Amino acid sequence: MAELSGMPAVLSVAGFDPSGGAGVVADLRVFNWLGFYGLGVITAITSQNTLEVKAIHPLGAAPVRDQLDVLLDDVTPAAVKTGMLAAAETVEAVAEAVSNRKAGWLVVDPVLKSTGGFDLGGRKVARAIQKHLLPLAEVITPNLDEAETLTGLRIRTETEAVEAARRLASWGARAVCITGGHFRGPPVDVFLGDSGPEIFPGARQGGGREFHGSGCFFSAALTCLLAEGRKPVDAVGCAKKLVEKALAGAVRPGSGNMIPWPGGSLEPERSKH
C-alpha cells in the first residue's frame, strides 16, 4: 500500500456543490494541483448548477462532528480551511473539533452568500464565526459583502476595508485578508497582519465574464501555502497570483458561470517572495 511519502494532508470543511465550482469539490482540486493530499468533511448538500443555487440542505452539527472526530482520530492535517458551514451549531462543532485535535493552520473563508446572492447562513452564522472560529484562525478571508455582514461596517474604499480588517482582528483572527473582487474598480485585496495593512492590487480577468468559486480557490490555495510554511502576507500574495492564473484559464462546464481552472506550470506564480 502506498503511503503519502512526504505529501502533507490538508482538510476542507465545507459544502458540496454538484457543479464542482465551489465547496469541497473545488477545494480538493486546488489541493491536488498544489501537491497536497486533500481531505474533505461535508457540512451541507446544495442543489445548484452553474446558473444558480436552488436550495441548501445543512447536515447539522452531529454528522459534521462525527465526520471530524473519526477523520482526525486517524489523520492530522497540516492545515484546515472552512467554507460554508450553514448553521451556527455547525460552526461551534467545527471550532471544538479543530481546537481539541490541535490540527494545523486554520483558514476561515466565511461563506455567507452564494455568487448569486442566495443566503447560506446569514447573521447567525456570522455571529458564531466571530465568537468561535476567529480566535482560532490564522487567516480569515471574507469578500466585501461577508466583511460587511461580519463587522456591520459599510465598505466601499480601501480605507474602510482596513477599518473592517482591524475589527475582525480585534476578535481574534491573527491575520485578515478582505478580497476585493466586489470593489467597483480594480479587485484590490486588503491584508492586515503583524506588520500592519498591506494592499495587493489586481486586474479584472475575463472581459466581463462571471466567475463562480474564486473565493474558494483563493482560500484553498492560501491554506496550502500556509501548510508549506509561508508567512501569511507572502501566502496571500502568492495565492492571489494563483487565482489570477486560474481565472485566465477558466472553463464553462454548463451554460452559466465560469469556473476557475488550475493548470499549467505553477512558476513563477508560486515562487517565493
pLDDT per residue as tens digits for the range 42-83 = 999 999 999 988 999 999 999 999 999 999 999 999 999 999
Taking the C-alpha atoms of residue 199 and residue 112, their distance in angstroms, rounded to an integer, is 24
Backbone angles phi, psi at 220, to 5 degrees: -65, -45
Q: Which residues in the chain come in under a pLDDT of 50?
A: 1-3, 207, 272-273
Query: Is 259 contained in some domain?
Result: no
Query: Is 261 contained in some domain?
Result: no
**Number of separate domains in the chain:** 1
What pLDDT does 265 receive?
A: 62
- We report the CATH number of the domain holding residue 183 as 3.40.1190.20
Q: Which DSSP string do the residues of 135-176 spell out, in sequence order?
A: GG-SEE--BHHHHHHHH-----SHHHHHHHHHHHHHTT-S-E
Query: Is 254 contained in some domain?
Result: no
DSSP symbol at 262: -
Query: Is 100 contained in some domain?
Result: yes
What pLDDT does 114 receive?
A: 67
Taking the C-alpha atoms of residue 207 and residue 12, their distance in angstroms, rounded to an integer, is 31
- Record the pTM: 0.92
Q: Which domain holds residue 238?
A: 9-248
